[in-house]
Amino acid sequence: MSFADEKARQALCSSEALSAGLLASAKALIFSSLAVGAALRFAPGFRKATGTSSRTALVASPAFFFFFLGSEHHMTRCARRQHAAQAAGLAVR
């Protein structure tokens, strides 16, 4: 196994993890935005108790969390796939 092959596999795993993280982040951003919007519209106590920065944090924090969670899970799956293929003596994608 050459150094170039290893770097190519790492780059492929990284780009796939970035895509998986961005997709998870986008989904979380949509749902958290809708939840905060619904709370602002239908819960007067939420409107009075929260300020702009806390509402922004309630929307942005889940997006960051799910980006890191999704990309980390994808990197773990990719590493496991590579180790299993190496153990079996197969070519690694």
- Model pLDDT, residue 23: 97
The Cα 55–Cα 50 span in angstroms is: 7
pLDDT tens profile 46-80? 999 999 999 999 999 999 999 999 999 999 999 89
Q: What is the pTM of this model?
A: 0.81
Q: Nearest-CA neighbor of 8 among 72, 93, 65?
A: 93
